[in-house]
Structure formats: C-alpha cells, structure tokens
Amino acid sequence: MLWKSKIIPRTFYDRSPVEVTKELLGTFLVRKLNGQYLVGKIIETEAYLSEGDAAAHGFKGKSSRNKSLYGEPGHAYVHTLRQYSLLDIVTEKSSIPSSVLIRTIEPTESIEKMKQLRNYPKGKHLADGPGKVCMALGITKTMDGIDMADKDSILFVCRKQEKVLPNQIITSGRIGISKAKELELRFRLVSKNKQK
C-alpha cells in the first residue's frame, strides 16, 4: 500500500473540530516504526472544543502540558493520563486549542507488531481505547507536537477507501470525563450491515 500518496493535508484539519472529528471516521491512522507501517482504520473519535467545553484541555488556558494544542492544525497533541499516552490531532488555526481525540482504531496492517507492542496476551481489544491506540502504535509523549500533515512524518492519516454515509455514524456523549458530559461530541462508525 502506498500510504504516503494518500496522506491527508493540513487544510483538512484547519476547520471546526466537529467537522474534522466526524470526517476522520473511516480514514486510516498510519504509524511508521522502524521502516514498518502500522495501520488502523479510525472508527471512534471525540471532539474537544476551544470554547464552552469544560472537559477540553485548553479550557483553562495554555500550560506546559497542553502547549502543542495551540500549535498548527494537523499537529499531534500527545498527553499522558496515569501511565498511558493519548493522541489528539490539533484542529482549527494556530493558537486556538481545539482537537480530535482518537479513541478507537481497527488494526489493518502489522497486527502482529501491534500485539507485541500492546504487551497484552489476548489478541482482542488491541486498540479500542485511546491509551490502547497509542500502545499498539508505539506512540509516546516524545512525539508530542509532531506534524502529522508532513509526508515524511512517522505518524499521519490517510484518506478513506469507502465513503461513509451519515447513517453509519452514531453520536453520543464523551467517555471518561466528569465535566461537559452533556455535549454530544463522540462519534462512532458502524459497519453498513449493522446500521442502527
């Protein structure tokens, strides 16, 4: 697969977080690790807004932890929760702290490598959580701030292979937060034959 030729450009991310969050469903997250491509289809995402969203990391302003959230769209915002890393992609223009959290991917390439990186004996639940996504792809906090819209990046997103229809997307409140639970900013892709 020629992943590099299908990379999603910065203009895609330079829009409202909700648009980007929905449209990322069905695209492919690609991690280049030691010359090997680890790939998974993005099937669950959450939006975090720059305004009126108490759960967003930019809600209380800039700090050393969230500084990359204020960078250019298409850059990675990798932060940690307890012992785990979580991956966001920055949206909107520079200095506006909004992003998309990648919650779940469906592994499609280099699955054995992902199992190894996960260090979890059972093969299931490989990348169905934001911390698991980062473990499966070897994403660490040292990658915070890298440009995911650059063709030479070790982490980027590629265009979808099939069109996603509106009725394939389930919307709900976000997971694992205590504030702003009422906002419907979680989006999940369901397969065509399992539409709800």
Partner DNA sequence: CACCAGATCCTCT
Partner DNA sequence: GAGGATCTGGTGG
Minimum distance of DNA from residue 45's CB (angstroms): 10
**3: burial class by Cβ within 10 Å (0-12, 13-18, 19+)?**
middle
Number of residues that bind DNA (CB under 7 A): 38
Residues 83-109 as b or e (16 or more Cβ within 10 Å = b)? eebbbbbbbbeeebbbbbbbbbbbbeb
Minimum distance of DNA from residue 80's CB (angstroms): 5
CA dist list (Å): 15 to 49, 72, 99, 159: 12, 12, 10, 17
142: contact with DNA by CB under 7 A = no
181: contact with DNA by CB under 7 A = no
93: contact with DNA by CB under 7 A = no
What is the longest distance spanned by two Cα atoms in the chain?
A: 45
Interface positions, 16-75, toward DNA (CB under 7 A) = 46, 48, 55-57, 60, 63-66, 69
Binding site for DNA (CB under 7 A): 46, 48, 55-57, 60, 63-66, 69, 77, 80-84, 86, 88, 99, 101, 118, 120-122, 125, 129-133, 135, 174-179
